[in-house]
Structure 1
Amino acid sequence: MPRHPKHIMLAIVLAGLPGLAGASDELMDLSLEELADIQVLSVSRKAQRLSDTAAAVTVLTSEDIRRSGARSVPEALRLVPGVQVAQVGAGRWAVSVRGFNSRFATKLLVQVDGRSVYSPMFSGVFWNALNLMMEDVERIEVVRGPGASLWGANAVNGVINIVTRKAAATTGTLVRASIDDRGNPELAVRQGAELAGGAAFRVYAQSINRAPFETEGGATSRDEQSGWRSGFRLDSDSSGTDRWMLSGDVYRQRSPEVLSMGALGAIYVPLDFEGAHLLVERSWVTSMGESTLRGYVDYADMASDAFAHATVYSADLDFQHRLPVLGAHEWIWGLGLRHQSVSADSATPVFAFGQSEVRMQTFSAFAQDEVELVARRLRLTVGARLEARNTTTPKFQPTVRLMWTPSDRDSIWTHWSRAARTPSYGDLHASAVVGTQAYPPFPLVTVISQANAELEPESLTAIELGYRRQFDRGSAEAVLFRHRYSHLIGSTFGGVRMPGVLPTVPDMRLQRVNGGSAVTEGLELSAEMAVTRGLKLGAAYTLMRTCYESTGDAVFDAGNAGVADRNADHWFSLTARADLPGRQALDAQIRHVGALSGQPAPGVDAYTVLDLRYGRRIGRHAELSLSVTNALDERYTAYRSDIFPSDYAYDRRRVVLTGRWTF
């Protein structure tokens, strides 16, 4: 592509700015009071104002998500400081908070309406199976830093809580149709209605049809995404003191990828995902306080007929009770019980499972007290969670938070926390071929990552200092953090075996053990400002370093260096949302990510991406939008897949035309 279109793209952004004085009637600027009243649930398991939270929190509203043009949750998360989002391929993502980025980030808890989608299979989230209907997302709350004292093991580096809209907010009919520049169409339909007694329901269905990425040489990477998802939600009348909600989803999706096995060649793996869940929640208020009981069952299946098959069944019951305020104290406590069954089998020596079926039971209990030391100025929060699982030793996970609000506009907080990450089924029982290499005197050996059923939980001790300032038309936040990890799982040399998986090639075993220690330190800055009635600007910047302590084990230390090299040391984003005359809107987002050092050739260089979205309302019931991703360059690569090794995939410039109609 010639260089001059870059200037054209920038001119489009700048051209819209002079006409902002005539912005549309949908005001983009919020008052100080409106900004301070944004509600957050994820920090204290209760609704509280964002300005009152003693944690590094970002809330993406439904308007933020719509104006970003995001078609998936990871795309929306690119707006959040401290969150590293790298697209591995079409539908494949590496998403983490405060380091340790991975295809399946093991230290990040992700929930949808309180239902955990963190898989015990490989510890992490199968993002390509989480294709939510984005119009139904009310907000995404991102808590950076440990949340284990309330949410349990695996809420180590952060918690992402996706909150969907109540059924009463989605009555009527919505139809969304889109097509990209490669001719891939998608369709979504939603129908909602009010019922007798103030209840409401909605049902929806949507298709998934995403084009494949490209290889370094320009050929297709053969990882196109196709499938469908359907679900419902039923809510009682929300005006009473006794409320309930019932929701469910079912999905099926094909997400193929090509595994790169070194000298063994490339292996095409047609992965099929399917799943379903049913969630019920009831909350009620009495003279003894507010109580919530939530339960869900979940089924998830991942299959490749010629290679392997894994199924996870989950059942979870969670109760919490918030007592009435007693003097300066506000108590909340709860109990949890979770049962998970994981079964797996392999049809190829590339994968091997030490136990074909494992049942995991987890019991948990937590308590937290918020103490107002000085009225409206100084508040102390002390809490802890005890979690016991039948596969590992029990873990006690405490936290202490102190928040000082010297004025109605300023908040300063600090906290100390401990958290644990429990080993996954894959860590404990799955062995896998991860490639081949020369190993003298052998010209070639097969490298196998070996399971270890004796692994113990990884541990984190974290400290954080933050400052938040509210302005008349915006806010700013600065956070310093230091995370110290111990008992990290890594691999050490486990010997050479003959004959190996391939009889003519010996095996070199890498044994997983708890032996690593590391420190991550960083600075997170963010700001948002409504400059005029029709122009809103935002910025986010993260600076971070990861440092492993040397163990003296060359194999172990090399593996740790590989983990550290998967994380950029800085990244930032700039956003502009402009309302234009004639019910038009222009949105721009610039993202810059530093290089990933030490990656295999050709590597991941630093890259800067400009995303644009133009929208226009047509009457009261229709909207058209045109989104351009990666407007400045032909293509780039952001990550090389780990866990399931594959070659670099390159994202080309993409154009998507979307129409939404409501009736």
Structure 2
Amino acid sequence: MQLNSRKIVSALIVVCLSGGAAADDGLMDLSLEELADIQVLSVSRKAQRLGDTAAAVTVLARDDIRRSGARSVPEALRLVPGVQVAQFGAGRWAVSVRGFNSRFASKLLVQVDGRSVYSPMFSGVFWNGLNLMMEDIERIEVVRGPGASLWGANAVNGVINIVTRNAASTTGSMVRASVDDRGNPEVAVRQGLTLTGGAALRVYAHSENRAPFETRGGASSQDEQTGWRTGFRLDSDVGEPDHWMISGEAYRQRSPEILTLGGAGTYYTPFDFEGAHILAQRDWMTAAGQTSLRAYVDYADVVQGGLGDATVHTADLDFQHRLPVTGAHEWIWGLGLRHQSISVKSRVPVIEFDKDEVEQQTFSAFVQDEIVLLPRLLRLTLGARFEARNMGTPEFQPTVRLLWSPSDRDTVWTHWSRAARTPSYGERYAGLVAGAQAFGPFPVVTLISLPEEDLRSESVNAFELGYRRQLDRGSVEAVLFRQRYSHLVGNSFGGLRMPGLFPPTPDVLLTRHNRASAVTEGAEFGGEMAVNQDLRLGLAYTLMRQNYDTTGDAILDGGNATIANRNANHWLSLQARIDLSSRQELDLQVRHVGALKGQPAPGVDAYTVMDARYGYRFSRRAELTLSVTNLFDKRYTAYSSDYFPSAYAYDRRRLLLTGRWTF
């Protein structure tokens, strides 16, 4: 939709003039001391006060997620500055931090309780298959900027750590049922138990049933999202100094779409995701400090209809040790070992693999020292991680962070980091149809991207300057960043093939290499404020520019421009939480996203969307909510699908009625 200033003004008036009557326990209701004491794990791999973090970090608490009305993690991430979220199908998402937005954002590490959900297949997250139980998320920590010195390669632009609730906090029973305006039902059930000895167990299961998006002409895009997930979590007595936890899940998801395959026309294919994992972690304290050991095994399988399938088995072991504070120093170090087995099978020439099976081993070690230069005023953090793989060259990823706290309310930080992104299995071994376009003298050709086993890692040098101030009933944050990328994977002209894959259309062959480089730079602003006891406001705004260096290679420069043009240069999110009474809530969110330039016709225009959620609590144990998305307009499109090309999908106005009962 075209930007309409009257709609933005109307939305802001509704947000700012609404009022009500009772406080809740989200971030915007906390005092100055409570805000400063919010615990963050993702910045330094330890529980750390938000006010002591030398990083651009946002914490979405459980109540923030609930009142946002988010039914998935990407929807909740819209509240965070610096995070670009575009939905282009019922289960298809493009999520990135600080640029390089893509269906598989290769420079963003996503974890659930320390378990990486970053797939080595396409160096990204299959958001289609990450249908978590939102009620069981304790918080989502989002660190913008590199985190590779602690978390390893691929934590290039940011780290998203999803922390689930301790089983002791979910005892009793819960039933949730919902239905949308198309009649699609969803159900979730959870049972929590307290066991002998103080341990606690949670078991749960839920379904997913999302209506399809629409085509430009108003027909169904046939990309409905269906599936289920079930799991458990077992925790030891939380009162003990030592703690252990075991969790596991199994899931199955179907996310079909219609692919556009150049001269071959369109092809309907269901993407079937299934997987399971089990994770165990123990934390204990000794005279030598605090120690943590975590291990998990994970199975993930993706079947692309008649195209092919891929299976990834992962075994991961992570150890870390935080030493007692010695003088001005606090050391933490750790070791990691990961084994991954990747096997693929292709059934059509649209995608082919040079190797059907690959074994990948990764060894890593990290160390970090936090140095108090001036007590309660100046702190320096030095850290580095070394990673070695059986595929590719070893990587050294250092960081330097400086934190200045001129007062109890103010924090200023700056940091420099180097991070690396290892090439994915697909980039090394997959040859695939990249699209179709005019290529003189031919009216249309099929672009075929060829595999390249000898790709090296991409790298970034990132600089950041940030300021955070705690207010009496809220906080504000402003961050400037500049990130310089080298050895980026790109494509160049590799020849013409006749006849082509889809005769009589010729094929233009594209060779992969590491000759691209780019810069992203911008500013992020975030804030939250309790205006009064009844009204609380939140703001997240990002201004960003992504530019590739010009090479003179028409194919490479054109491909780089396509990647850069998938990123908006600004986006805004405004939230209002309104307590109408002790039983009623009204939550409003206005989102504005700038246009994506240079996209294929009809393109992605700037759009403004307003979402609303109304909640009524019958009692402490029962509530009913009505959520409306895209309140002002009939529909809009947010992104042009990449990797698996398809026509634009449009999100229409949607209604969802949800009932939740705990007992």
* Length-normalised TM-score, structure 2: 0.97
Which amino acid in 2 is paired with 1:209? N
Counterpart of 2:88 in 1: which secondary structure?
strand
> How far apart in 2 are the matches of 1:362 and 1:490?
25
- The within-5 A match list for 1:294-313 is 294-313=294-313
Kindly provide the CA deviation profile for residues 307-342 of structure 1, in whole angstroms up to 9, marking residues without a partner as x: 111101111000000000000000000000001111
1:113-124 aligned within 5 A = 113-124=113-124
- Assess if the C-alpha contact under 8 Å between 2:32 and 2:471 holds in 1: yes
Per the alignment, residue 542 of structure 1 pairs with: 542
Superposed displacement of residue 442, structure 1: 4.3
Equivalent in the alignment of 2:22: 23
In the TM superposition, 1:407-446 aligns within 5 A as 407-446=407-446
Maintained 8 Å contact 2:153/2:421:
yes
Match of residue 645 from structure 2:
645
Equivalent position amino acid for 1:17 in 2: S
The 8 Å contact of residues 263 and 446 in structure 2, kept in 1 or not, is answered as no
Q: Residue in 1 aligned with 2:231? A: 231
2:451 counterpart of 1:459 = no
Q: What's the counterpart of residue 528 of structure 1?
A: 528
- Aligned CA distance change for structure 1 residues 29 and 15 (closer, same or farther; 3 Å): closer
Q: CA deviation at 1:270?
A: 1.1
3-state DSSP of counterpart to 2:44:
coil
- Residues in 2 aligned to 1:548 and 1:620: alpha-carbon distance in whole angstroms: 54
Structure 1 residue 551 and structure 2 residue 551: aligned? yes
Letter in 1 for 2:193: A
Cα deviation digits, residues 112-161 of structure 1 (max 9, x gap): 00000000000100001000000000000000000000000000000000
Structure 1 match to 2:488: 488
The equivalences for 1:151-230 within 5 A come to: 151-230=151-230
Residue of structure 2 equivalent to 1:583: 583
Aligned to 2:338: 338
Query: Does the aligned pair in 2 maintain the 1:9–1:632 contact within 8 Å?
Result: no
The equivalent residue for 2:109 is 109
Q: CA deviation at 1:437?
A: 3.3
Q: CA separation in 2, counterparts of 1:316 and 1:67?
A: 35
Counterpart amino acid of 1:290?
Q
2:158 is the counterpart of 1:144: no
What per-residue deviation string (whole Å, max 9, x for no partner) do you get for residues 493-529 of structure 1? 0101233323544321011110011111000011110
Following superposition of structure 1 onto structure 2, how do residues 390-405 of structure 1 map, counting pairs within 5 Å? 390-405=390-405
Aligned to 1:634: 634
Partner AA of 1:293 in structure 2? L
Look up the equivalent residue of 1:345 and give its one-letter code: K
Contact kept, 8 Å, 1:263 with 1:435, in 2: the verdict is no
- Tell me, what secondary structure is at the counterpart of 1:60? strand
Deviation, structure 1 residue 438? 3.9
Query: 1:96-117: CA deviations, max 9, x gaps?
Result: 0000000000000000000000
- Equivalence for 2:513: 513
Amino acid at match of 1:245: M
Structure 1 CA distance for aligned equivalents of residues 324 and 509 of structure 2: 57
User: Residue 25 of structure 2 contacts residue 63 of structure 2 at CA under 8 Å; is this kept in 1?
Assistant: no
CA distance in 2, matches of 1:13, 1:237: 47
1:599-618 alignment runs, 5 A limit: 599-618=599-618
Q: 1:367 to 1:11 in 2, by over 3 A?
A: closer
Q: Within 5 Å, give how 1:83-94 maps onto structure 2.
A: 83-94=83-94
Give 2:624's aligned residue: 624
The whole-number CA distance in structure 1 between the counterparts of 2:555 and 2:7 is: 45
Q: 1:227, 1:254 within 8 Å by CA — same for their partners in 2?
A: yes
Offset at residue 547 of structure 1 (A): 1.1
Contact 1:6 1:631 in 2 (8 A): no
1:364 aligns with 2:364: yes
Please, what TM-score do these two structures have when normalized by structure 1? 0.97
Paired residue total: 659
SS state at 1:498 partner: strand
Separation in structure 2 between the aligned mates of residue 552 and residue 578 of structure 1, nearest angstrom: 55
Match of 2:75, as an amino acid?
A: E
Structure 2 gaps of 5+ residues are none
- 3-state DSSP class of the match of 1:494? strand
Q: Distance in 2 between matches of 1:422 and 1:360?
A: 12
State whether residues 636 and 652 of structure 1, in contact with CA within 8 Å, keep that contact through their aligned partners in structure 2: yes
The Cα offsets for residues 437-466 of structure 1, whole Å up to 9 and x where unpaired, read as: 343444543210111101000000000000
Report the secondary structure of 2:501's partner residue: coil
- The residue type paired with residue 23 of structure 1 is A
Structure 2: which amino acid aligns with 1:163? Answer: V
CA contact (8 A) 1:13 1:586 kept: no
User: What residue identity is the alignment partner of 2:68?
Assistant: S
In structure 2, what is the equivalent of residue 321 of structure 1? 321
Shift of 1:240: 1.5
When residues 346 and 42 of structure 1 are mapped into structure 2, their CA distance, relative to the original with a 3 A threshold, is: same
Query: Which SS does the other structure have where 1:575 is aligned?
Result: strand
Of 435-444 and 273-282, more deviation after overlay is shown by 435-444
Distance 1:97 1:263, change over 3 A: same
Structure 1 Cα separation of the partners of residues 16 and 121 of structure 2: 50
How far apart are the structure 1 equivalents of 2:132 and 2:444?
44
Amino acid at match of 2:495: G
Compute the displacement of 1:17 (Å): 2.6
For 1:14 and 1:337, how far apart are their aligned partners in 2? 49
Deviation larger for 59-68 or 612-621 = 612-621
Identity of aligned residues (%): 71
Give the distance between the partners of 1:121 and 1:237, measured in 2 at CA.
38
Instruction: Give deviations 1:597-644, integer Å, cap 9, x for gaps.
Output: 000110000000001000011112101110000101000000011011
Measure the CA separation in 2 of the matches of 1:449 and 1:26.
51
Asked if 2 retains the 8 angstrom alpha-carbon contact of 1:99 and 1:546, the reply is: yes
Q: Secondary structure at the match of 1:532?
A: coil
Partner of 1:284: helix, strand, or coil? strand
What one-letter code is carried by the residue in structure 1 that aligns with 2:598?
G
1:23 Cα offset (Å): 2.9
Is the 8 Å Cα contact of residues 486 and 517 (structure 1) preserved in structure 2? yes
* 2:375 maps to amino acid: A
State the Cα deviation string for residues 51-95 of structure 1 (Å, max 9, x = none).
110000000000000000000000000000000000011110000
Corresponding letter in the other structure for 1:622: A
Indicate if the aligned counterparts of 2:11 and 2:590 stay in contact, CA closer than 8 A.
no
Q: Deviations over 1:410-457 (max 9, x none)?
A: 000000000000000000001111233343444543210111101000
Inter-CA distance 10–466: structure 2 relative to 1 (3 Å threshold): closer
3-state SS in 2 of match to 1:516: strand
Cα distance 1:15–1:480, how it changes in 2: closer, same or farther (>3 A)? closer
**Deviation, structure 1 residue 535:** 1.3
Aligned match of 1:55: 55
* Equivalent residue number for residue 389 of structure 1: 389
Q: Which amino acid aligns with 1:616?
A: Y
Provide the rounded CA distance (Å) in 2 between the counterparts of 1:346 and 1:143: 37
